Amino acid sequence: MTESHTSPGPAAFSYPGHGTNARTGVAICHGFTGSPLSVLPWARHLADRGFAVSVPLLPGHGTHWRDLARQGWRDWYTSFETAYLDLAARTSDCYVAGLSMGGTIALRTAARHEVAGVAVVNPGLSFYDRRVRVVGLLKYFQRTTTPVREENSTAPTTDDGDYSLTPLAAVHQLRRLFSATLRELPAVQAPALVFKSDADVVVPPSSLELLRRRLGSRELRVVRLPHSGHVATLDADAPLVFEESVRFFLEHTRSMTPPTAPSETL
């Protein structure tokens, strides 16, 4: 397996695929203030199984919170959409996947393109903090806030850059991304797999309820993650995320025979 860089810091990841799964692609999007490091074990697991994988580094991420403040939600979306289209051009079946905001971006991509399927982990569509309703005004009086911390998570901390502060201008852009994606969810026709952590203090349960109500796809499968926090791709339930997503991709790839092993989904 080869990465698109050799340094240990945040950077894009790509793998061309091998064996019987080489013509199946998975484009994965990381989350808000994160980097490909948060989904790297997932990407590597898929690469080990032979899938072609692409994980772009979104603009304003992997460096400093001041860079994030200068980016808009369309910049984040376009960066991932470009990576997906490039991978889709080189594969027969191409899926989109993502963590948190990355799940939101993956869902919007699925609404705008004929993806083979979408697999998302704790996708965001709503907020716990009600002050976000006035963040468009608040950002002019308060430049930054402190990020939400998960006290009970066992996920390791990744070196994603200096995001010790969160610019409210970026939170406003995140809210706009959520709103835009909610409007387009009825256009998603591809099968969807959603992983939801029980102990997620970042994305509220209302996000999943919104997804259930608005998603256009006739196939929505939800997998509960009882032992993980928000960044479940690095937490105790990560093996479940990896294996169930592999099963999902194989089940819906036209050139593959669906596996017969039972699913642990709820």
Q: Residues 217, 184: contact at Cβ < 8 Å?
A: no
Q: Helix (H, G, I), strand (E, B), or coil: what is residue 181? A: helix
**Can you give the length of the chain in residues?**
266
230 an active-site residue?
A: yes
Annotated binding site for substrate: 32, 101
Out of 93, 160, 200, 235, pick the active-site residue. 200
HSE at residue 131, side-chain half, CA atoms within 13 A, is 8
64 an active-site residue?
A: no
Give the position of tokens 């430049």: 143
Those residues whose C-beta lies under 8 Å from the C-beta of residue 261, and which sit 6 or more positions away, are 247
Out of 30, 45, 230, 252, pick the active-site residue. 230
Residue 26, beta-bridge partner list: 53, 95
Cβ-based neighbour number of residue 124 at 10 Å:
28
E-assigned strand segments in 88-203 = 93-99, 118-121, 144-145, 166-167, 192-197
93 an active-site residue?
A: no
Out of 38, 79, 100, 245, pick the active-site residue. 100
**Helices 73-89 and 101-112: crossing angle, nearest 10°?**
60
Instruction: Return the active site residues.
Output: 100, 200, 230
